[in-house]
Amino acid sequence: MKPSYLRYYERYSYRFLARLFADALLSRGRLRKLAIAHRQADYLRLARADERLLALHARINRHLMAAREQWSSYDYGEGYFYQSLDAIGVRGMRDTTARVEAMNLRTHVAGRRVLDIGCNSGFVALSIAPVAAHVTGLDINPHLIAVARDAADYLDLNNTDFSACAFEDFPARAPFDAVLSFANHSTYDGNTRQPIERYFQRCGDLLAPGGLLLFESHTPQHEGDGLQHVREIISRRFAVREKRILDVGSFLDRGRTFIVAVKA
């Protein structure tokens, strides 16, 4: 995100739409162009938004700017948001609504205490919070956690808790009823420090008996042959209830393996 973008969120201007169009033409790479297109579409919708939503977008874009200046790890959102959240008018690289529906996620987490590992901006966690007992989200990027907290406040969701913390460093707490492991058993940016065996052991340790592990793989291109090994580890530690390939959402969503597994 460019520093000059921020002033357009402090005071709405249609000139910004033309600026974004020009920036998209000059940008290289499919994902970067897509991020700018999403920002442009969201900004256009803000012309009809109330002051409260405008203020939220100003705050969360300040967090993105802070991340650009202070956070050195890979930017999954390419300058905008990696996840979408319809309730606050944000499009992202990955379609949260489509993913939640395809996984039947609200049914799986209804009435449960949920842990979302590597929650990014927390938009998946916020999408399921209305039906869950409580949702805890973890991400190592403190600026994305700030986005999640601001969005939770805007949506008046008081059953969420977001922590800027690596999964490896997450302090032991009361067991959860569901753990969301969505493409965080290993990471593209290399920030996962623990072996995969230890990762899934810890997932199990944090689950109450009968608790659910809800797993989503990386894309087939990124996962490669390693997915079979991951599936074998899950099968050894949990009872697999469901396994299928997702075919909804954006090109970054489709083709991923989704598994529902139960702790014995």
Does 136 lie in the same domain as 70? no
Instruction: Answer with the one of 61, 88, 115 that is the final residue of a domain.
Output: 88
Does 226 lie in the same domain as 200? yes
Does 140 lie in the same domain as 26? no
Does 167 lie in the same domain as 101? yes
Domain count, the chain: 2
pTM over 0.75: yes
Q: What is the mean pLDDT of residues 184-199?
A: 77
- Give the number of other Cβ atoms within 10 Å of residue 74's Cβ: 12
CA angle (147 as vertex; 84, 205 as ends), nearest 5: 85
Does 156 lie in the same domain as 36? no
245: containing domain? 96-262
Does 255 lie in the same domain as 151? yes
45-81 per-position pLDDT tens digit: 999 999 999 999 999 999 999 999 999 888 899 999 9
> Which pLDDT value is given to residue 4?
87
Does 23 lie in the same domain as 47? yes
Share of the chain above pLDDT 90, in %: 86
Does 82 lie in the same domain as 35? yes
What are the E-state strand segments in the chain?
A: 113-117, 134-139, 160-164, 176-182, 207-216, 239-245, 257-262
Instruction: Answer with the one of 38, 61, 88 that is the final residue of a domain.
Output: 88
